[in-house]
Structure 1
Amino acid sequence: MATAARPQTAGGAVPRHVAIIMDGNGRWAKKRLLPRAAGHKAGVEAVRRVTRAARAMGIEALTLYAFSSENWRRPAEEVSDLMGLLKFFIRNDLAELIRENVRLRVLGDYARFSADVVALIDDALARTAGNTGPILAIALNYGAQAELVRAAQTLAAQAQAGELDPAAIDVGSIERELETRELPPLDLMIRTSGEHRLSNFLLWQAAYAELLFVDTLWPDFGADDLAAAIEAFGQRQRRYGGL
């Protein structure tokens, strides 16, 4: 059976897996003399625009950094606002995700959230588990260093139990223990708002990903910005250490 052609842009193939560090909600609100909560609310609208655009462009997997393990350091009121917006997104957009055959995945230890948030997430995951279309992965209480520690601990326990030869541990062994094991390899990571760092996000997965840092604040990011990022990706030459 012939393999389906990858979607193309003017610059080349569309990346299979795109990850976005959604940054700039607070600065967006500050520029408009609004509370930070207004920036986060506008950021949810950007999530809606970008997830729809990604599906239209043929991106197989979109991973969004929604709440890091370090975000607990923020004021309790802001964390509460973020949890409220997460619940709002699930309640309002789950039907669309189901209708569009989207597979929802969560990266990170979301069990730390309140019981009502955990229940909503569990229900959303269960109701989209059988879908066969594009993947929307949301990173919640996620940190890449902790993810790598957990993978190392799992492999160490297997070796200690005699189930695994330490000498046989390779790249594939580690990747099978990562939370992204069901996703395609990461092709493109985008960070909005002009910051130039990964902030403990998908550190292993980003080893050979193309990185793109844009000045646009996340609430202003939309389909045209994603299309421009995809075009820029198409112009890159990915050598993976070769010539």
Structure 2
Amino acid sequence: MSDYEEWIGREFEAQDRITPRMLREFRATLPGLLGPGEVPAGFHWCLSPEALDYEHLGRDGHPQPGIFLPKLPLPRRMWAGGEIEVIAPLHVEDTVHKSSVIRKVTFKQGRSGDLGFVEVDHSYSVDGAVRIRERQDLVYRADPDPDRPAPEPPQAADWDVIESWTVSPDPVMLFRYSALTFNGHRIHYDGDYARTVEGYDGLVVHGPMQSVWMQNLAAQILGRQARFFRYRGLSPLTVGYDVKVEARREDDILDLRVRRRADNVVTMSARAEL
């Protein structure tokens, strides 16, 4: 761990403006999957993306580790989950200042092998006032081992579902969301790479996009964005599966999930609170 102590507390600053064009493209990418609000829930992930020259990209299309994020001895990086606190909504034409800081680097043994985790805090401010605070959990893992059996994916329990959306993600949706967030990760558009290098069944649906679905279903039920939203990736979702985005309610708390219809596997779960 001493190899990564110098990364703890490292900060990065960026600034971006919310334009009508950006919002129009966000809505066109996710028709019927957005809740109320001038700026829908989850849009902040389109702001201030990492934009590096090709020479600074890794084999997977991500920025090379060691620039913004530490270089862990594990080659595959994914977004594992996180927590969002919405203090006040964003608006069209807001100039948003994004501040990011690396908080923690940890390692553990998971069902699929060695895992490294990097915890990053972000804040999004307008005119000096914080609108959104966020923690992102990034996971690093080894290349797939063909001799190691894949872990059993989690099956959906019976829920008293109060509202749901059906989503059929396809390559066009994935391309558009990658473009909105300037995400170069090849698993979302290069099927051969996704299968032969990273070991997936096909093109992988973005974890953040699945979170956006759940954030907006929660906003539709609650009438506004949830104050606190916690989410966690559980199993990969690849193109070819239709899913249900589902919610159940207990008082002011919503449990949400993305469930593959064909085999009842839960790919992401979340909890939203007013």
Instruction: Please indicate, yes or no, whether the TM-score normalized by the shorter chain is above 0.5.
Output: no
Shorter-chain TM band: under 0.3
Structure with the larger helix share: 1
Q: TM-score, normalised by structure 2?
A: 0.24
Structure possessing the higher relative contact order (Cα contacts under 8 Å, 6 or more residues apart)? 1
Q: TM-score, normalised by structure 1?
A: 0.26
Structure with the larger strand share: 2
